[in-house]
Structure 1
Amino acid sequence: MARRALILVEGHRSIGLRYVQAAQRLGLYPITLSADPTQYDYLAAEDIEAIHVDTDNLDALIRECSRLRATYNIAGITGFTDLDESLYATVGKLCRHFDLPGPNPASVERCCDKFAQRQLLAKAGVPVPAYRLAANATEVESSAAEIGLPVIVKPAAGSGSSGVRLCRDVDEVAEHTAYLFGGKHTWVSSPRILVEEFAQGPFYIVHIMGYEVIGIEAGAFDPPPHFVFREGTFPAPLTDDEYKRIVDVSLSCLRAVGLGWGPTCIEFRWTKRGPVVIEVNPRISGGPQPVQLAYGVDLIAEHIKLVMGEEWDLRGRHSHISAWRCLLPDRDGILDWIDGDSRATAVSGVAEVKIYVKPKTPIVRKGDYRDSMGYVIAASPSLAQTQAILQRAVDLISWSITPFPTE
């Protein structure tokens, strides 16, 4: 009898290993297809089979999966990558080719185009920030003037807050536009800029599977102008009315963009007019662990069950409060040393301490998810206790960065 395999297209620095481990626990043999398998450290560390394939080429992926089917029983196909969500649309097309459960590629593509997403949400009456699409610097400047400063200037496609900036005056608008169009930013599609109203207020992330809202997370960023995640708490401290309003808008989002299969995470700001949708992401959150620690629901394992066409179970096993903090550098330079992670791990209530960087690594802040040097996550029965545990653990971690020499 052929061995059952789970095909993972590309990988992810924070959740890739969790998918591999969950697949193994479910009795599956994980195989990663990647344009560059060496970029995912966990593949070699865990001796996971990885095959070099051009993952931008659907035909190449179909050929490789067809070849693998001669040896394995392919139970399911899924995938992810840190920077380009459009890969998930390719995964959907691959699933359809092999008649396997998967996301609707057209719905995923609509979400990946942030302008198209905004149009669909606005047409459905979903509250979104004022927005304009711009193809050149003149259009960016006129859009900012129409909306009114401050504005968010960002690529119309991409993820991880890459290229996203708060611009408070016309000089900052011109500076960031020049950066995006100047060849330094890596575009995942044709260069187009979205100019948006800066929706101000507390930030929330809604975790959804299918049409079921699992819970709402509160998040916070490092200081502007960029949007680098600093910390989060799950579940968010919300009133029943606030929770219901966010859930109602979330379900409206799913209907508007045609989602409803598999994981989705939706980002909100709670503004003076209530919940305003910042983004609908047609994928699992890059940090599903807070949900598991708080409720005992392993979103990754349940997603894999869905991918296999099996029944899932999103019922909570317990009710705790989880919280996490990113380890963010305060300067660019060479990382001399970073330590204390073993002491932090030993703190009762700490679930995980993860360090991404090694000593002697150059630290160059980019203003997006790549700035994080690691994270600490904790959980306990109460918010105050969890926050105290987290703070104690973070205080045990220290590092030294020597600034680059100046000219």
Structure 2
Amino acid sequence: MTGDGNTPAGTVVLIGGRAEREFTILRELGYRILYLDRRVPLHCMPWVDVPIDVDVDDWDLVAKVIRDRLDGATPAAVLTHVEPRIPLMAHLNEQLMPGPRGLTVEAAWNCRDKWRTRSRLRDAGLPVPGFGLAGNADEAVELADDIGLPVVVKPRDGAGAFGVRRCTTPDQVGEAAAAVLADPGLATQAGVLVEQYIDGPEYAVQTLTVDGWTRRLSVFRQHMTEPPVFVEIGYEQPSGLEAADEATLTAVVASALAALGVTDWISHTQVRRGPDGFQIVEVNARRPGGRLVEMTTAVSGVDMTRAASQLALGLPVTAEEPQATHALYSSIVFDEPGFVTYRTGLDLAGYPGPPAPIVEVEVAPGEPVLPVDHPEGGVYGRIVTFGRTASEVADGVARIRDALDLQVTALDDLAWLGSDSREYKSCC
């Protein structure tokens, strides 16, 4: 820690976040934490030195609060792991730091704004689905006619599959566009994106870019629910791609990051493989969600949460030896509404690893759940196993599911439940 621990010289400004590891890494690196959010969660209070409630949509106000609290001194870093706050992080870095650090504002928006992402990549000659930006439902229908059905309608800068829908008819396009425009969720940019639907397998590619050189950390085969909605229900490592195809995929992603201006940061990119080859669907300048960070750490030795912290601080990115060659991620979802029951206190000794399996059920026994394809349903937890063979990790997931004995007592009507408070339907 810099100084006596009470000076601002060793203070990291952390914007938003909920996971304890985001805080403990900064502690381990020896820094104090000035935490800013619209409303600081109570459970985060013990992890920070200075919690401040502030309107994080007012960028000038946020910068003033930081300057005032640090008495004009330069923070050690400005950092966020929350996707909607990444442009703010980049802005504050440019305003408060003495030199370039992490993402530029332009690069942050190039990744956050899906229309800008596709425009930049198309201009660079990189493979993206056909697309267009609509300001109303009628324009969306016209775009869909030009692109050709089916299409995907999505918020311009949304996250976590919120509002994303595949449409096969003009009426569906109009309804989906109207729904997004009426309720854009966390999106802030005007308009709705309409893009070509690529029918083929999807891959999640995790990368680390330092001084403009991109290293592939992991490639996971991604499994989704059947359209029209898109919810991630599983990932597997290895991806199943041939070595040459995985090298091609890596090169496409590296070129995309360069075109978007990402020179020193982590990324989570989603790519589909259609009849014309790999097509870039999303480029996210952040770590992946769910437990894909732990999967990536296990197979690459690089912890993406730690790597982002180190890059924000201007430190070298550290790595450890990989612990596994295979991993399987299975989301906990339900087909019917009702009340869930399962066994708690599961003993994970004897299951595949290392690392030890991850078992998370994010709803308590006796609480209500909704189907995976319900607008307020989605993912309620996950099981992740690690090992040396595909059969080993698959057997581990199956055994854990049997031990949990997840059951749903069906009900005819759960309308009284009201709205689900979770931000995203999907993990990642």
TM-score (ref. length: structure 1): 0.88
Q: How many residues align?
A: 396
- 2:121 and 2:297 map into 1 onto residues whose CA distance is 30
User: Quick check: 2:326–2:390 contact (8 Å CA) kept in 1?
Assistant: yes
Deviation at 1:315, TM superposition (A): 6.1
Candidates 84, 87, 92, aligned match of 2:85: 87
In structure 2, the residue matched to 1:33 is 36
Q: Closer, same or farther in 2 for the Cα pair 1:269/1:175, shift >3 Å?
A: same
In structure 2, the residue matched to 1:158 is 158
Deviation at 1:305, TM superposition (A): 1.6
Q: Closer, same or farther in 2 for the Cα pair 1:125/1:246, shift >3 Å?
A: same
Candidates 389, 400, 404, aligned match of 2:408: 400
1:385 and 2:392 matched: yes
- 2:225 and 2:128 map into 1 onto residues whose CA distance is 23
Query: How is 1:309-320 mapped onto 2 (pairs within 5 angstroms)?
Result: 309-314=314-319, 316-320=321-325
User: Quick check: 2:32–2:48 contact (8 Å CA) kept in 1?
Assistant: no
1:149 and 2:157 matched: no
In structure 1, the residue matched to 2:12 is 6
- 1:159 and 1:189 map into 2 onto residues whose CA distance is 11
User: Quick check: 2:90–2:102 contact (8 Å CA) kept in 1?
Assistant: yes
In structure 1, the residue matched to 2:97 is 99
User: Quick check: 1:43–1:49 contact (8 Å CA) kept in 2?
Assistant: no
Structure 1: unaligned runs, 5 residues or longer: none
Residue type matched to 1:57 in 2? Answer: D
Query: How is 1:280-291 mapped onto 2 (pairs within 5 angstroms)?
Result: 280-286=283-289, 287-291=292-296
TM-score (ref. length: structure 2): 0.84
In structure 2, the residue matched to 1:189 is 188
1:33-88 C-alpha deviation (Å, 9 max, x unpaired):
110223xx74157677532111112222223322442599843221133xxx3410
Residue type matched to 2:160 in 1? Answer: G
Deviation at 1:128, TM superposition (A): 0.9
- 1:264 and 1:249 map into 2 onto residues whose CA distance is 13
Secondary structure (helix, strand or coil) at the match of 1:396 reads helix
Which stretch shows the higher mean deviation, 305-314 or 118-127?
305-314
Deviation at 1:204, TM superposition (A): 0.6
- 1:402 and 1:216 map into 2 onto residues whose CA distance is 37
1:51 and 2:52 matched: yes
User: Quick check: 1:269–1:278 contact (8 Å CA) kept in 2?
Assistant: yes
Secondary structure (helix, strand or coil) at the match of 2:76 reads strand
Secondary structure (helix, strand or coil) at the match of 1:116 reads helix
In structure 1, the residue matched to 2:362 is 356
Q: Closer, same or farther in 2 for the Cα pair 1:369/1:196, shift >3 Å?
A: farther
Q: Closer, same or farther in 2 for the Cα pair 1:36/1:406, shift >3 Å?
A: closer
In structure 2, the residue matched to 1:300 is 305
In structure 1, the residue matched to 2:199 is 200
Secondary structure (helix, strand or coil) at the match of 1:102 reads coil
User: Quick check: 1:378–1:389 contact (8 Å CA) kept in 2?
Assistant: yes
- 2:157 and 2:303 map into 1 onto residues whose CA distance is 29
Deviation at 1:114, TM superposition (A): 1.0
1:121 and 2:121 matched: yes
1:307-359 C-alpha deviation (Å, 9 max, x unpaired):
111111346444421221111132345xx344335326445234221222235
Residue type matched to 1:385 in 2? Answer: E
Candidates 210, 215, 233, aligned match of 1:212: 215
User: Quick check: 1:344–1:396 contact (8 Å CA) kept in 2?
Assistant: no
In structure 1, the residue matched to 2:265 is 262
Secondary structure (helix, strand or coil) at the match of 2:393 reads helix
- 1:314 and 1:224 map into 2 onto residues whose CA distance is 38
Q: Closer, same or farther in 2 for the Cα pair 1:235/1:73, shift >3 Å?
A: farther
Q: Closer, same or farther in 2 for the Cα pair 1:279/1:47, shift >3 Å?
A: closer
Q: Give me the CA root mean square deviation.
A: 2.7
Secondary structure (helix, strand or coil) at the match of 2:146 reads helix
Residue type matched to 2:241 in 1? Answer: L
In structure 1, the residue matched to 2:76 is 75
